[in-house]
């Protein structure tokens, strides 16, 4: 039984796919399910390994291409970890928040405070449509190790 967060994640991801004119195939629904069950970041291989359980014929290339497209659409956030390479997680679309990301264990903490609400002295008369704010560091647990 998925919690409501998981269910919402699936709905949101499928909503983004539909808005972008994607047909919702069983495989794409499964991919949304995989992200809804995950708290942290998943590498393309993590996603592929889970997809291959349900769809033994799926190719890594297909999974990877879908991940890239989903991140371009805004359904997934991507981040490059020094050790782990490129990883993805479901975007939080229902409210605005930002992330603290531990570069060691990859745990992500959200914070509601938005630095963009301060007066920013931005160059070039730039009209901001959207933004993401990520802070990378080492979490408390990893510091103690």
- Cα–Cα dist 105/141, whole Å: 9
Query: Known binding site: residues?
Result: 96, 102, 105, 117, 131, 139, 142
Task: Give the CA angle between residues 107, 29, 56 to the nearest 5°.
Answer: 90
For 74, counting Cβ atoms within 10 Å of its Cβ (0-12 exposed, 13-18 middle, 19+ buried), the class is middle
- Cα–Cα dist 76/57, whole Å: 24
The answer to whether residues 98 and 134 touch, using CB atoms and an 8 Å cutoff, is yes
Query: Known binding site for Zn(2+): residues?
Result: 102, 105, 139, 142
Query: Known binding site for Fe cation: residues?
Result: 96, 117, 131
- Cα–Cα dist 114/118, whole Å: 8
The answer to whether residues 76 and 10 touch, using CB atoms and an 8 Å cutoff, is no
């Amino acid at each position: 039984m998925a919690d409501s967060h998981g269910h919402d994640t699936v709905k949101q991801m499928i909503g983004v796919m539909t808005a972008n004119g994607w047909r919702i195939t069983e495989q794409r629904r499964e991919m949304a399910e995989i992200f809804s069950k995950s708290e942290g970041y998943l590498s393309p291989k993590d996603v592929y390994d889970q997809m291959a359980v349900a769809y033994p014929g799926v190719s890594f290339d297909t999974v990877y291409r879908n991940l890239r497209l989903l991140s371009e659409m805004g359904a997934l956030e991507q981040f490059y970890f020094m050790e782990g390479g490129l990883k993805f997680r479901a975007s939080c679309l229902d409210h605005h928040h930002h992330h603290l990301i531990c570069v060691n264990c990859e745990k992500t903490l959200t914070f509601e405070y938005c630095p963009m609400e301060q007066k920013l002295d931005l160059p070039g008369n730039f009209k901001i449509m959207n933004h993401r704010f990520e802070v990378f560091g080492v979490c408390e647990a990893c510091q103690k190790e």
